[in-house]
Structure 1
């Protein structure tokens, strides 16, 4: 069985030691059908959805990066992922660090503009050379102009899904906090915890609040809570016994009409994108109370049928699922 780990990518070299040999591709904003984009071209239409949480989907088969804000696609760019022998890892990541002027600490202080770091071992989104095919040592290279625009809309904790294929996100509203038996007062209780908390995109650079993520593993029958890149709690997973699939849910905030939480649902790893029912999943009352301490708009919740292996995790990377 394929394992879910926070694995070291040092064996593949990462990409933070990769020299951008001929300099990054500048890139060009164009008005084209996505299928007609040439290497270095991108579309950028933030006016389609000015506000809301951002999610990034990297489609390796297409060599395209799709950017969604509040469930609406606002941009698509060509990219270059890892070449054979240095393939870009697939799965669910969050932005761990942002550095507009990052330079390689290994090779000649090489520039890697507009870096959104995804693992501490060296995988990132950044500006680079785009020859029209996978050519990096594991990172996802972007046109320079596009990487600067993307840098401005991402934040620490922005989910980045790297997958072989691309699925469109869906809106999901669920009664209750999804992890306990629903009670009338639950919505008010959770709403009270959300009110003083801002979305990470609204945080000041020095706020330093931790980003919360949760992972539900059907294999291990448990839910893990992470702050930034460290596990801080775990509890029992109670569900219907059927496969959970491979899904990521981004919490938008309360949904008054449904008396529940409003989520953006994204699918990865070939799962059926239409199977989104958060009522299938809950936990016991004690762990529900723990979860309420960590919930905030912009948090992500990952479903997987793969095992969690904390004993084999390397460093402090977020979850990598292959």
Structure 2
């Protein structure tokens, strides 16, 4: 069940899309920019800016594309927060809206929110999904993977590069770096998975409200530990693990802030946990996993059941 466009939307003006060379604020409905050569490799993150009605695509911290979009109309607003791609279907059809075609679908929730091709009238008009130009949606489909983080927010900042001097949530001596590397042996990035590989996608959420950290594999909570931090608000940040950083002997993350541009700067060293839980975390960590800071409570009002999403 996916909310979105009607059955004939792909015939509407501008729905096919057109690649252009323009400033972002000058893009007209259906127009997009696409420059993957700016950063050919690395983890992808997608940010949907509701205020701008734009979708920004970053790879390894570098913006490679921007597209116009159409999000939820009044009464069917697109939820804000942090999501991951749960399912991909190039030829999806709606089970709710008269078998309507929704090409190049990246599912964000099981109850109906997704990125997909559809009509772009120049204003929010969907039933909750994020509609994209058809040509852009096909290009985006090729670079996303199960577990790709998608942040939907009113505003955002460009990603920053962060190296944490340790695995995560704990310190270590430099001579132990080889042990850190060993925890990533035989763990592929989700971008390298086949759709039917069945690897669990690990995500961590640190909530200052609950003073705890939870680990989610796919849509199931698998571990919980105590959050130790400096007592100040954490802000709304998303960290994507790129892998080990040999030069600085630590873990290399790409960090994004959403919702509040004035939020405190990225600093993974602000948070820790008890040693026993930090050791237990090693079994879940893999390149491409995401780690979220939030000041919201971790109950159903801020995380929807079996979907992985922190609602803001």
Per the TM alignment, residue 177 of structure 1 is displaced from its structure 2 partner at its CA by: 1.6
The aligned residue for residue 205 of structure 2 is 215
Residues 110-152 of structure 1, C-alpha deviations (whole Å, 9 max, x = no match): 1100000000010000000000000001100000000000000
Q: 1:177 aligns with which of 152, 155, 167?
A: 167
Whole-Å separation in 1 of the counterparts to 2:38 and 2:215: 33
- 1:106 aligned onto 2:96: yes
Query: Deviation of residue 166 (structure 1)?
Result: 2.6
Checking the alignment, whether the CA contact within 8 Å between 2:229 and 2:272 is kept in structure 1 is yes
Cα deviation per residue 1:253-272 (whole Å; 9 max; x = unaligned)?
Answer: 00111110000000111143
1:242 corresponds in structure 2 to 232
Residues 261-300 of structure 1 mapped to structure 2, 5 A cutoff:
261-272=251-262, 275-300=265-290
Unpaired segments of 5 or more residues in structure 1?
1-13
For residue 9 of structure 2, what is the aligned residue in structure 1?
Answer: 22
Tell me what 1:189 maps to.
179
Distance 2:176 2:87 in 1: 34
For residue 196 of structure 2, give the secondary structure of its aligned residue in structure 1.
Answer: coil
Cα RMSD (Å) of the superposition? 1.7
Asked if structure 1 preserves the Cα contact closer than 8 Å seen for 2:93 and 2:101, the reply is yes
Equivalence for 1:76 = 66
The answer to whether residue 26 in structure 2 is matched with residue 36 in structure 1 is yes
Other structure's SS at 1:136 match? coil
Matches within 5 A, 1:85-96: 85-96=75-86
- CA deviations over 1:219-266 (Å, ceiling 9, x no partner): 100000001121111100011111111000000000111110000000
Q: Quote the residue 1:148 is aligned against.
A: 138
CA positional deviation for 1:19: 2.2
Q: Which moved more, 1:48-57 or 1:19-28?
A: 19-28
Measure how far apart 1:195 and its partner are.
2.7
Conserved 8 A contact 2:296-2:302: no
Q: CA deviation at 1:17?
A: 6.6
- In the comparison of the two structures, how many residue pairs are matched? 309
Distance 1:267-1:300 versus aligned 2 partners, 3 A rule: same
Separation of aligned partners in 2, 1:102 and 1:22: 14
Task: Give 1:46's aligned residue.
Answer: 36
Q: Whole-Å Cα distance in 2 between the matches of residues 253 and 231 of structure 1?
A: 23
Alpha-carbon distance in structure 2 between the residues aligned to 1:285 and 1:64:
42
**Greater relative contact order, per chain length (Cα 8 Å cut-off, separation 6+):** 1
- 1:65 aligned to 2:52? no
CA contact (8 A) 1:65 1:76 kept: yes
User: Which whole-Å CA distance do the structure 2 matches of 1:313 and 1:163 have between them?
Assistant: 15
d(CA) in 2 for partners of 1:176, 1:189: 10
In structure 2, distance between residues paired with 1:130 and 1:253 = 37
8 Å Cα contact 2:146/2:195 also seen in 1:
no
Q: Within 2, Cα distance between the matches of 1:36 and 1:224?
A: 42
| SS of match in other structure, 1:215 | strand
Question: Shift of the alpha carbon at 1:314?
Answer: 4.7
Distance 1:65 1:106 in 2: 25
> Structure 1 stretches (4+) deviating beyond 6 angstroms?
none
What does residue 119 of structure 1 align with? 109
What CA distance in whole angstroms lies between the structure 2 residues aligned with 1:294 and 1:200?
A: 13
Whether contact under 8 Å (1:20, 1:129) holds in the other structure is: no
Q: Gaps spanning 5+ residues in structure 2: where? A: none
